[in-house]
Chain A
Amino acid sequence: MISIIDYGAGNTGSVKNALDFLKFKSKITSDKDEILNSDKVIFPGVGNFGDVMKELKKRDLISVIKKVIEIKKPFLGICVGYQALFESSEESPDEKGSGIFKGKVIRFRSNLKIPQIGWNQIKIVNKNYRLLKNIPDNSFVYFVHSYYPDVENKKIILTKTEYGEEFASAIEFNNVFATQFHPEKSGKTGLKILKNFCGI
């Protein structure tokens, strides 16, 4: 069973649809025990960083996420679910992140259209990966965001993407995986990435 963390917002339904299509059992839940007892955990996110952190706190889910990661249960953060793993965000300076990884979430500096909306390429920089097994370099995936984590530990960076500036579009560290793009909305490539995660 795969838990999809429910925090009152977010596109949990899209992730569930993709897992159903791939024939992996999943449940949208905010129940701590259920999350801790599942095989894998997906934390999808859309919306404002501060709102997401507030909702997580309200449901006491930050400690649950930390625990999941500590016991090395495979964990996948998506979009704001990726950003929430870092210390803080320029989007909501008053609301702290979970601080699981070092770094700040920053806004695009470039003068291109913001948010970045659409299909962009991922340059695979770490060949020793599991999440991107059988995914060709420079594949297109779907992005919708104005902010991205400025990852301090460069060793965890899995892919980079160029949008006026280069940023870390996915990370992998032990059993923690996270993507700035939306695999559940990235067509066949995205489904393959989700399948890789579910098979870990």
Chain B
Amino acid sequence: MLSKRIIPCMDVDKGKVVKCINYINPKAAGDPVELGRYYNEQGADELVFLDITASVESRNIMKDLVKKVAKNVFIPFTVGGGIWNINDMKEMLESGADKVSICTAAVLNPEIIKQGAEKFGSQCLVVSVDVKKNNEKNNWEVYIYGGRENTQIDAVEFAKKCEKLGAGEILLNSLDRDGTKEGYDLDILRKVSESVNIPVIASSGAGTPEQILEAFTLGKADAALAASIFHYKKYTIKEVKSYLRERGVVVRE
């Protein structure tokens, strides 16, 4: 049976892994090459690497880092941040990424999803969607530029559009929950999971193994991404997996 995936995520700023709360205030957490090797050893099912500054000068540092991380990682490796066009995708894939994650570019120019899927295949195209609840309208809206700009696009509709254009997976981030450890936003997670026929990765808010379990049982996610609970070794991946296994979730050893 296909297992549920546990994915540690490294937010990288100027070559270092950091962790933000609600997308601001980076706090240093470690060396990406070392953390990557550690997670590979620990039984992570995949690894995600996001360049959160993604400025021009950081591009070359990134390519170099991606190469170094990939040398020690024998699980799928996704790289995101600052990917605006086909050439950026190509550079990251050539540097050793197995998948690329696109965020703002997918909203501003959805055709990039189609072009990327045609060129490299849907399997390596992850669309990362930043959402925030609009309580007045009782829906979730898509944000861009790292949460700084509201597009007012409905998150569920956008996810469906991404699937149609050839996205291979949806990575769903919640600006309300990011870094809070209060648990994933299960309402929007379930809505998106039930509206698309491609895998959905839950993200933002994981603080305990129970919350990860809920992402699968209540949120219907295919994979769960978490950062700080693993970086700060609050729980190991093994502990989370045994917790899930004892409760009937299929996970890899």
**Do A and B make up one complex?**
yes
Residues of A within 8 A of B (CB): 9, 11, 13-14, 17-18, 20-21, 46-48, 112-121, 140, 142-146, 162-163, 184-188, 190-191
From DSSP, what is the main secondary structure of chain A's interface residues? mixed
With A48-B118, A48-B121, A115-B123 already in contact, 16 other A-B pairs whose C-beta atoms are closer than 8 Å: A9-B120, A11-B98, A20-B71, A46-B124, A47-B120, A115-B122, A115-B168, A116-B2, A118-B3, A118-B222, A118-B223, A120-B2, A140-B3, A145-B123, A184-B74, A187-B43
A-B contact pairs, 29 of them (CB 8 A): A11-B93, A14-B98, A17-B70, A17-B71, A17-B74, A20-B71, A21-B74, A46-B120, A46-B123, A48-B121, A113-B199, A115-B123, A115-B198, A117-B222, A118-B5, A118-B199, A119-B3, A119-B45, A120-B3, A140-B3, A140-B253, A142-B76, A143-B2, A185-B74, A185-B75, A185-B98, A186-B75, A188-B74, A191-B74
Interface residues on B, range: 20 to 34
Could you say which residues of chain B place their CB within 8 Å of the CB of A21?
A: 71-72, 74
User: In the complex, what residues of B have CB within 8 A of residue A184's CB?
Assistant: 74
**CB neighbors of A among B78-132 (8 A):** 93-96, 98, 118, 120-124
Alpha-carbon distance between A191 and B40 when the two chains are bound, in angstroms: 12
Which B residues have a C-beta under 8 Å from some C-beta of A?
A: 1-5, 40, 43, 45, 70-72, 74-76, 93-96, 98, 118, 120-124, 168-169, 197-199, 222-223, 252-253
A13 and B70 within 8 A (CB): yes
Find chain A residues with CB under 8 A from B124 CB.
Answer: 46
Q: In whole Å, how far is B125's beta carbon from the nearest beta carbon of chain A?
A: 11
Q: State whether A14 and B169 are in contact (beta carbons under 8 Å apart), knowing that A115-B123, A140-B252, A185-B76 are contacts in the complex.
A: no
Which B residues are in CB contact (< 8 Å) with A14?
A: 70, 96, 98
